[in-house]
């Protein structure tokens, strides 16, 4: 009996040893890089337990403005201190003397550290080039003066540039054939997403040293400097954004309390985006939980009377805008008395300047009788239908798009609406199923200002290596398809100017600005009631100076009450600030 028990215990012990050996083999030999259902990399974990590191550069590329100023990260010269200095006698007084601080401050910061630190609290202490050189000349182990990459605290154009995050599944989907750490950042939205293949990190630059169980140096006090093997990385994406104008635009949008909306500013000659602001603000803690991650300047919205520009272009070409012709602008689009506006009889030019709905409803129905697809055709000629962002071949990608999140505009959603006079009348004044993006409207204004020259909108000029040499450049390109004639563009230019100079024009508030403005207002009913009141999208789109066009600007406030959220003050102040900017530069 006793022998039987011993045999049983012996079998149990042997089985236990086999289980332990098997488990140990799994940990040490088999599942070293993907242990358990969580896919834990045991090798990385083991290394991280016995190393301490200070990341100098996360390896991901940066975005620059048109003059080379950083938009996401900046490199700051800082003093790096390693905690093993607490166990050594080292010339702290010499370091303190170089940077002009007390020895006590340096030692206190080290005493509280559980890993390498950038000296300074709460912000890192910025070194001069002279201080950097003097510190590194001392050659003190564990003391380094380096340029470390930090995210900018006031990131601008946040929706346009987009966000990044750790997403191993997405990383594998995009780059399955390449070896990247699972913690590599990938672009999730905006330019970070569209240019991710250029930006994705080749590896971190870091200072590393090995420690024992209590944090003391394991292999002496040597610190290893580790960086990617390719000196041309990280890549820089040089955008067309002007950082100063972007900051100015961001501040003005917030000053005028635009909660949902924003602005787009284009350079007319190059058709480059100089500034783009979208609200609401991006919530980086929960970016996909609200509208903040969406760029409202690339989303389709109801444009209201801004769309009358399309009808005007078609009416000019088809001889419906005769100077002698008048319209009853005391009536609404259905021929009933208008309770809000009693303009009386107006000609075509006055109708456009004062935004008479009846005129453009009548014209649209006459155009429909000629061709039911007339408004679609002219909306496309003026770049409101289809994408306007730069697209073309980039290396192995034939249809690369700088702005892949850009919505496509439309006039009619349903085919039956195209043949219904009531729906046609509503569409003529930018209501019903008409949807356009603010970027497309800005491009329409730029196209008119250039005399009908329809171009793609660029937001990135080039992709550059870390040393500044060019990887790829994005040339100025025409938008495909028909456009308006120079004659029609000239007529539209005069109409847009009349909006401002007419004593009752909807843009008369801009008459005294330092730059002469041409443009069109829009107030669209959204069909959404808030507090029992109808909500509106409020627009002003235009270009300036009128005599020598340089900028196209669109401002929009979305979903506001009729007696709130006026957009004219924002447009006016932006024009003034741009004028001041030009005088100073």
Supply the residues annotated as catalytic.
Answer: 305
Strands, sheet with 236-239, edge to edge from the N-terminal-most edge strand: 62-64, 236-239, 460-464, 470-473
Report the C-alpha gap between 375 and 290 in whole angstroms. 34
Report the C-alpha gap between 515 and 438 in whole angstroms. 22
Q: Which helix (H) or strand (E) holds 537?
A: strand 533-544
Q: Which helix (H) or strand (E) holds 63?
A: strand 62-64
Report the C-alpha gap between 541 and 519 in whole angstroms. 5
Task: Return the closest-CA partner of residue 107 out of 126, 125, 85, 124.
Answer: 85
Determine contact, residues 61/199, Cβ cutoff 8 Å: yes
Query: Can you read off the two tokens belonging to residue 103?
Result: 């020895």
- Residue by residue, DSSP assigns 157-216 as SHHHH--EEE-HHHHHHHHTTS---TT-EEE-SHHHHHTHHHHS-S--EEEEEEB-TTS-
396 CB burial (10 A radius; 0-12, 13-18, 19+):
exposed
* Residue 94 preceded by cis peptide, ω within 30: no
Query: Can you read off the two tokens belonging to residue 78?
Result: 């800082």
Using the structure block, give the residue that is written with the tokens 């061709």.
371
* CA 30 vs CA 18, 50, 180, 421, 515: distances in Å: 16, 22, 20, 73, 71
Report the C-alpha gap between 309 and 313 in whole angstroms. 6
Determine contact, residues 81/113, Cβ cutoff 8 Å: yes
Query: Can you read off the two tokens belonging to residue 583?
Result: 């005088």
Instruction: Give me the half-sphere count of Cα atoms (radius 13 Å) on the Cβ side of residue 67.
Output: 8
Report the C-alpha gap between 498 and 503 in whole angstroms. 9
Integer-rounded Cα radius of gyration of the chain? 32
Determine contact, residues 96/107, Cβ cutoff 8 Å: no
């Amino acid at each position: 009996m006793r022998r039987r028990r011993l045999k049983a215990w012996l079998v149990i012990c042997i089985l236990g040893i086999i289980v332990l050996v098997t488990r140990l083999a799994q940990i040490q030999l088999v599942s070293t890089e993907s242990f358990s259902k969580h896919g834990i990399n045991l090798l990385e974990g083991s290394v991280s337990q016995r190393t301490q590191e200070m990341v100098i550069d996360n390896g991901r590329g940066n975005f620059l403005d048109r003059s080379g100023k950083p938009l996401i990260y900046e490199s700051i010269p800082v003093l790096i201190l390693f905690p093993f200095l607490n166990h050594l006698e080292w010339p702290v007084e010499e370091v303190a003397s170089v940077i002009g601080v007390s020895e006590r401050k340096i030692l206190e910061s080290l005493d509280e550290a559980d890993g390498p630190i950038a000296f300074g609290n709460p912000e890192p202490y910025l070194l001069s080039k002279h201080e950097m050189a003097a510190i590194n000349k001392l050659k003190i182990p564990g003391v380094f003066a380096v340029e470390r990459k930090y995210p900018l605290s006031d990131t601008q154009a946040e929706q346009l540039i987009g966000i990044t995050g750790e997403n191993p599944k997405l990383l594998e989907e995009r780059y399955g054939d390449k070896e990247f750490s699972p913690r590599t950042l990938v672009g999730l939205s905006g330019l970070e997403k569209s240019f991710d293949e250029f930006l994705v990190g080749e590896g971190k630059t870091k200072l590393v040293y090995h420690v024992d169980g209590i944090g003391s140096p394991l292999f002496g006090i040597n610190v290893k400097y580790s960086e990617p093997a390719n000196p041309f990385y990280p890549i820089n994406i040089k955008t067309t954004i002007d950082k100063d104008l972007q900051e100015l635009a961001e501040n003005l949008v917030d000053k005028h309390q635009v909660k949902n909306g924003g602005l787009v500013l284009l350079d007319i000659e190059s058709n480059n985006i100089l500034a783009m602001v979208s609200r609401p603000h991006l919530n980086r803690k929960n970016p996909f939980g609200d509208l903040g991650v969406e760029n409202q300047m690339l989303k389709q919205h109801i444009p209201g009377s801004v769309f009358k520009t399309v009808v005007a272009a078609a009416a000019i070409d088809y001889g419906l805008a005769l100077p002698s012709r008048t319209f009853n602008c005391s009536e609404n689009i259905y021929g009933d008395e208008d309770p809000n506006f009693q303009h009386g009889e107006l000609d075509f030019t006055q109708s456009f300047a004062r935004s008479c709905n009846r005129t453009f409803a009548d014209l649209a129905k006459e155009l429909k009788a000629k061709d039911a697809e007339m408004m679609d055709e002219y909306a496309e000629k003026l770049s409101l239908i289809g994408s306007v962002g730069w697209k073309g071949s980039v290396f192995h990608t034939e249809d690369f798009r700088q702005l892949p999140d850009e919505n496509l505009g439309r006039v009619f959603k349903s085919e039956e609406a195209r043949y219904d006079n009531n729906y046609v009348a509503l569409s003529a004044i930018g209501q019903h199923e008409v949807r356009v993006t603010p970027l497309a409207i800005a491009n329409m204004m730029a196209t008119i200002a250039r005399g009908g020259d329809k171009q793609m909108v660029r937001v990135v000029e080039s992709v550059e290596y870390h040393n500044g040499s060019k990887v790829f450049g994005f040339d100025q390109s025409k938008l495909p398809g028909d456009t308006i004639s120079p004659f029609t563009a000239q007529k539209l230019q005069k109409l847009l100017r009349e909006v401002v100079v007419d004593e009752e024009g909807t843009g008369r508030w801009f008459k005294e600005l330092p730059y002469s403005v041409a443009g069109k207002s829009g107030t669209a009913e959204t069909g959404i009631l808030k507090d029992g009141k109808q909500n509106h999208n409020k627009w002003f789109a235009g270009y300036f100076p009128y005599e020598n066009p340089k900028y196209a600007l669109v401002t929009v406030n979305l979903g506001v009450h009729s007696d709130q959220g006026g957009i004219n003050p924002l447009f006016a102040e932006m024009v003034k600030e741009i004028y001041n900017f030009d005088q100073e530069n």
